[in-house]
Amino acid sequence: MIWRIGEILIQKKLINWQELEQCLLEQSATKDFVGQILIRKGYITSSLFYRVLAEQFDMDYVDLGHTRVNPKAVAVLPRSIAEKFQVMPFEILDDCLVVAIADPMKIWPEEEVIQMASLKAARKVLSSPGEIERAIREYYAVETGV
């Protein structure tokens, strides 16, 4: 059985049924993702939501606000690619570029990234969109001097 994120959050007692029902009603009108609505309404923090989402997709989670980003990882991926695909390279481990993404279902140019980085592999981990945007601004500004 594949669990939906709302059901997982209820199972973990992070939200209740009433909160989920309110979000689902709003979702039918706005077409926003349930997670966006839960965060916007303050029922769950962005960090906690993305931790649970990572668990749902059997991925690791990284809090880029509390993680040291390796400048060598940033240097192998152009800012234009990071911004276009909302990905943040933050480490190189054993000839593998570790990249934070915000959407586990979004297609990203993994093969092109591997070629650009001249590495053997790339591995994606999950982070929140806000953390990825902040890290891109912060670490690529250092790189370009902006």
Element (DSSP H or E) covering residue 9? helix 5-11
Task: Kindly report, residue by residue over 22-56, the tens digit of the pLDDT.
Answer: 999 999 999 999 999 999 999 999 999 999 999 99
Q: Which residue has the tokens 């890290």?
A: 135
Segment 65-122, tens digit of pLDDT: 999 999 999 999 999 999 999 999 999 999 999 999 999 988 888 998 889 889 999 9
- Measured CA to CA, the distance from residue 50 to residue 130 in angstroms comes to 11
Could you give the dihedral angle defined by the CA atoms of residues 81, 85, 90 and 96, in that order, rounded to the nearest 10 degrees?
-80
The domains located in the chain, with CATH, are: 5-44 (no CATH), 64-144 (3.30.300.160)
Q: What is the pTM of this model?
A: 0.84
